[in-house]
């Protein structure tokens, strides 16, 4: 199979992989493909298990909170439902979608894909099904939600008794099965089931695609010599159109949201009728003073340091595309990949607030309500994810001539 590395644009011939073999770009060390024994049956089994566990977690108690003889019990859907009750529809919809709706839809889609459905479907349907499936994965945050639940429990264990319900353990099992199933997905294999890749003769070894007038489809990875991908019918570009401009625009938006996200309260805590606002930094200080040093560090890193560092790193990478590639370019590529991977983990604090709001509802005795800072924080994280997605790491390996060629293609 021919392809071009999505990180550095090197044209590579990937041979047939045996079980447990991995194809890695020799230029920048990016993982290109992998093969495992009984891959389809394992994905189907794990996906079915994940669906059963997710559906089971919907109907049983998730967490119980007891204080002064009063008990509050919530189910998994309550995390979003109570946010709707506070007219916080944006957060409620985001939580329902990212931890229940999208993972369930993805699992339902990948089961028939690994049972050979692509060979039976008409080409147009199969193409759309694959595009939809792979577009969902970056926005699923079930594992982050589970970590957020654990963090929220540490925050309130000193104030009340906490009991984990059947639903919590079912959801934990779902997350394990879901992560294992998606880790075994092989996009290249699925696209090959839809349509055999076109083989381009006389490609030069150890040469980048842009230097040979070739393009790698950003959807299916097919190496193309034309403007339309021969496998998925997507329009192809040497480089993603206006990549730096789009990344910079999303970054500026995220920076504009970062300040109010840290200044405004993310939640209000009412105890015996006394309402106390809490910012992100304030919550970190409370955890630190109570002796929960590891949790305080996790929240501080995920909610304060990582978003700021990500903005600085992506800004630096946007500047570096104007300079020729050098010995440090491989390191820049690895930094970008790490930044893209950890981006959505900043959402932990949002899920912590959602759980606390749903669980701690004991009237004037004790209750938690969401603050406007949560909306700014959620918007900031989403904008940073979009900025990382818009940035094209292949630009780091280009020279000024490549940039001019890509710009002409975009304007054409």
Is residue 139 domain-shared with residue 281, that is, in the same domain? no
Mean of the per-residue pLDDT values for the chain? 83
Q: What is the pLDDT of residue 198?
A: 67
Q: What is the pLDDT of residue 411?
A: 45
DSSP for 22-48, please give it: EEE-TTT--EEEE--TTHHHHHHHHHH
d(CA 360, CA 70): 11
Q: Kindly tell me if the per-residue pLDDT of 170 is higher than 90.
A: yes
d(CA 11, CA 412): 25
Q: What is the pLDDT of residue 398?
A: 85
Question: At residue 32, what are phi and psi to the nearest 5 degrees?
Answer: -105, -40
How distant, in Å, are the alpha carbons of 217, 227, 236, 368 from that of 233? 9, 9, 9, 50
Return the percentage of the chain with pLDDT > 70, whole number: 92
Q: Kindly tell me if the per-residue pLDDT of 405 is higher than 60.
A: no
Give me the residues paired with residue 215 across strands: 224
Q: Kindly tell me if the per-residue pLDDT of 226 is higher than 70.
A: yes
Q: Which of 260, 244, 278 is nearest to 378 (CA)?
A: 260
Q: What is the pLDDT of residue 126?
A: 84
Q: If 0-12 CB within 10 Å is exposed, 13-18 middle and 19+ buried, where does residue 118 land?
A: buried
Is residue 333 domain-shared with residue 406, that is, in the same domain? yes
CA 392: distance to chain centroid?
A: 17
Q: Does any domain span residue 335?
A: yes
N-to-C CA span, the chain: 30
Is residue 271 domain-shared with residue 352, that is, in the same domain? yes
Q: What is the pLDDT of residue 257?
A: 93
Q: What is the pLDDT of residue 49?
A: 95
Is residue 250 domain-shared with residue 396, that is, in the same domain? yes
Q: Does any domain span residue 303?
A: yes
Q: Kindly tell me if the per-residue pLDDT of 332 is higher than 80.
A: yes
**The token pair that represents 350 in the structure block:** 């949002």
Residues 5-62: pLDDT tens digits? Answer: 888 888 888 887 777 778 888 888 888 887 776 778 888 999 999 999 999 998 888 8
Q: Which residue among 132, 160, 178 closes a domain?
A: 178
Q: What is the pLDDT of residue 313?
A: 92
Q: Which residue among 162, 178, 194 closes a domain?
A: 178
User: Which residue shows structure tokens 């690994």?
Assistant: 114
Split into its structural domains, the chain has a count of: 2
Q: Which of 165, 164, 187 is nearest to 43 (CA)?
A: 187
Q: Confidence class of residue 365 from pLDDT cuts 50, 70 and 90?
A: low
Q: Does any domain span residue 363?
A: yes
Q: Confidence class of residue 71 from pLDDT cuts 50, 70 and 90?
A: confident
Residues 133-146: pLDDT tens digits? Answer: 888 888 899 999 99
d(CA 40, CA 274): 56
Q: Does any domain span residue 212?
A: no
Residues 146-157: pLDDT tens digits? Answer: 988 888 887 777
d(CA 243, CA 389): 9
Average confidence (pLDDT) over 234-249: 89
DSSP for 347-379, please give it: GHHHHHHHHHHHH-B-TTSEEEEE-HHHHHHHH
Q: Which residue among 134, 156, 178 closes a domain?
A: 178
Is residue 255 domain-shared with residue 334, that is, in the same domain? yes
Number of residues in the chain: 412
Strand-by-strand arrangement of the 267-271 sheet: 274-278, 267-271, 366-370
- State the CATH number of the domain containing residue 407: 1.20.140
Q: Confidence class of residue 86 from pLDDT cuts 50, 70 and 90?
A: confident
Is residue 253 domain-shared with residue 398, that is, in the same domain? yes
Residue 352's domain spans which residues?
A: 238-412
339 against 406, higher pLDDT: 339
Residues 367-404: pLDDT tens digits? Answer: 778 888 888 999 999 999 999 999 999 998 887 555 55
Q: Does any domain span residue 307?
A: yes
76 secondary structure, DSSP code: T
Average confidence (pLDDT) over 321-347: 86
Residues 171-223: pLDDT tens digits? Answer: 999 999 999 998 888 787 888 777 766 667 667 767 888 888 888 888 888 88
Q: If 0-12 CB within 10 Å is exposed, 13-18 middle and 19+ buried, where does residue 276 land?
A: exposed
Segment among 109-113, 228-232, 258-262 with least mean pLDDT: 228-232
Residues 286-318: pLDDT tens digits? Answer: 778 877 777 788 778 878 888 888 999 999 999
Q: What is the pLDDT of residue 412?
A: 47
Q: Confidence class of residue 408 from pLDDT cuts 50, 70 and 90?
A: very low
């Amino acid at each position: 199979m021919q392809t071009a590395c999505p990180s550095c644009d090197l044209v590579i011939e990937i041979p047939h992989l045996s079980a447990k073999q991995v194809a890695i770009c020799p230029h920048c060390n990016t993982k290109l493909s992998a093969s495992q024994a009984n891959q389809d049956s394992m994905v189907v089994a794990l996906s079915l298990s994940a669906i059963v566990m997710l559906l089971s977690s919907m109907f049983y108690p998730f967490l119980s909170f007891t204080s002064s003889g009063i008990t509050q019990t919530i189910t998994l859907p309550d995390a979003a439902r109570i946010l709707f009750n506070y007219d916080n529809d944006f957060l409620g919809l985001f939580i329902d979608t990212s931890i229940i709706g999208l993972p369930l839809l993805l699992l339902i889609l990948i089961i028939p894909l690994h049972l050979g459905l692509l060979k039976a479907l008409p080409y147009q349907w199969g193409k759309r099904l694959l595009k939809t499936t792979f577009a969902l994965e970056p926005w699923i945050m079930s594992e982050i939600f589970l970590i957020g639940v654990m963090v929220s429990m540490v925050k309130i264990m000193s104030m009340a008794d906490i009991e984990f319900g059947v639903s919590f353990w079912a959801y934990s099992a779902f997350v394990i099965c879901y992560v294992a199933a998606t880790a075994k997905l092989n996009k290249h294999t699925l696209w090959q089931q839809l349509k055999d890749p076109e083989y381009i003769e006389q490609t030069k070894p150890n040469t980048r695609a842009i230097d040979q007038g070739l393009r790698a489809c950003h959807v299916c990875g097919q190496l193309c010599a034309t403007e339309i991908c021969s496998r998925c019918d997507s329009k192809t570009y040497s480089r993603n159109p206006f990549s730096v401009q789009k990344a910079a625009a999303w970054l500026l938006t995220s920076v504009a949201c970062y300040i109010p996200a840290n200044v405004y309260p993310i939640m209000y805590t009412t105890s015996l009728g006394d309402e106390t606002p809490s910012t992100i930094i304030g919550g970190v200080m409370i955890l630190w003073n109570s002796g929960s040093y590891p949790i305080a560090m996790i929240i501080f890193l995920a909610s304060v340091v990582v978003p700021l560092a990500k903005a600085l790193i992506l800004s630096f990478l946007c500047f570096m595309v104007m300079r020729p590639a050098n010995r440090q370019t491989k390191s820049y590529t690895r930094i970008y990949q790490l930044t893209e991977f950890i981006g959505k983990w900043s959402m932990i604090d949002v899920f912590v607030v959602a759980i606390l709001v749903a669980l701690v509802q004991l009237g004037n005795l004790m209750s938690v309500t969401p603050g406007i800072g949560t909306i700014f924080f959620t918007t900031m994280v989403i904008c940073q994810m979009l900025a990382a997605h818009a940035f094209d790491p292949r630009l780091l390996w280009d020279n000024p001539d490549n940039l001019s060629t890509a710009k002409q293609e975009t304007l054409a």
